[in-house]
Structure 1
Amino acid sequence: MLIKSVSQLIGHTPLIDLQIDVPNHSHIYAKLEMFNPGGSIKDRLGQYMIQDAINHGDVIEGTTTIIEPTAGNTGIGVALAAQQHHLPAILVVPEKFSFEKQQLMKALGAKLINTQVTKASRVRLKKHTGSMNKRLTVLFQCSLKIRQIRLLITTHWHRNW
């Protein structure tokens, strides 16, 4: 099988029968999402969010800058999808975020902005990240803040994938 784009690999992960003895002759299956190119189910989410934005005309391929705060695997999924659509991506991540994941996001072409993490509560961190996103949106006028946490798409995607 010849793969012409990494996006062809996203979501086509194997399903395994765990062959665990359970009542009523039931079966337990596990979806091996770690086989996605970025190593998690969040590759699907990144691809879905960016494709949905393109479909709705919110993104101009090759022009719009994607801005996303992340402290997890979604950043890798967004960076992967942005690269496939030739979109610049800026990911706002806590400075203590995994070094390896930051390196992977950079290798996928994303620019990272590290936010300082202090003893502040999660609410203050979210507020700081939100104000950083607003400032970035002003700097990059042709940009889209994905705002994964607030998107209804996220709920829709989780129910339908």
Structure 2
Amino acid sequence: HRDPALSSLVAAKLERGWSPTQIAHWLRREQQDSLSHESIYHALYTGQIRAPRQGSLLRSGRSLRHARVAKPRQRRGVLRNMTSIHDRPASVEDRAEVGHWEGDLIMGQRPSAVATLVERSTRLVRVVALPNGYKADAVRDALIENLADMPPQFRRSLTWDRGR
């Protein structure tokens, strides 16, 4: 760091097992110095603060920071043999004809949920109560019942939001 006295003070605290965050808070409180924990990490990794003895000054023992390991993809919610949304006809994409719906499940405090249906052309919204739960069979039955009063030309397709 630019101040040798401050660098040696930080190095001493690190040797005693303090974390850079603890040191930054202590400096702010005790010495009114606004050195951030990121500045301390930066000084460590660029060699501006050196350990008098061999090894790392960080409690973790690491000498360098490492990128976090990517979490494995969750398989929850993956549906097999589904038609991609990109395979919809052009008339659905450009909203040229009425009767194409987009559906989504809105979760409340478990176990409550409602289904929403939005017609792509008119942007008509229907909120469907799910009194029998939000499992696939119960949602299917509630949607069929809700759309039964619609003329067939207004029930052409339903694209369901597959996100978690």
TM-score (norm: length of structure 1) = 0.31
Higher helix share: 1
Query: Which has the bigger relative contact order, CA under 8 A and spacing at least 6?
Result: 1
The structure with the larger Rg is 2
